Amino acid sequence: MSLAFQAVEIDPRRAPENYLSKRGIFSWLFTTDHKRIGLLYLFSIIGFFAVGAVAALLMRLNLLTPRGDLVQAEMYNRLFTLHGVLMVWFFLIPSIPSVLGN
C-alpha cells in the first residue's frame, strides 16, 4: 500500500482569493487576521499616547512660566483629567494585554 499524491496545478491567473488580497479601510477595520488586529492595537495605542503626551507637555509648560498663565486654571484641570484618562484607560490598560497576550 502506497500513499502517492498527485500535484495539483493551479493557474496563477485564477488563484483563489484569501483574506489578505482585499485592500482598503474596510478590510482593515473588519479583519479577523491576528496580525492586522495587533497592528490596529499598536496604532491606536501610539495615537492615544501622543495625545496624552501633548496634554502633559502643555501642563509642564504651564508650570514652567513664573505665574502659570499659559493656560487658565479650568483648562489646566481639564488637561490634567484628559492626561490621566488617556494614559490609564486608553494607553496602559490596552497595552498590557496586547503586549503580554501576543
* Closest to 101 (Cα-Cα) out of 41, 22, 15: 41
Handedness of CA 92, 97, 100, 102 (dihedral sign): negative
Share the mean pLDDT of the chain.
86
Res. 62: pLDDT tops 80: yes
CA distances from 97 to 2, 18, 56, 102 (A): 49, 28, 25, 8
**Mean pLDDT value of segment 82-101:** 90
What's 10's DSSP letter?
-
Q: Residue 71: what pLDDT?
A: 93
pLDDT digits (tens, 9 = 90+) for 3-45: 777 777 767 676 666 666 778 888 888 888 888 888 898 999 9
Task: Show the cell assigned to 19.
Answer: 483574506
Q: pTM here?
A: 0.74
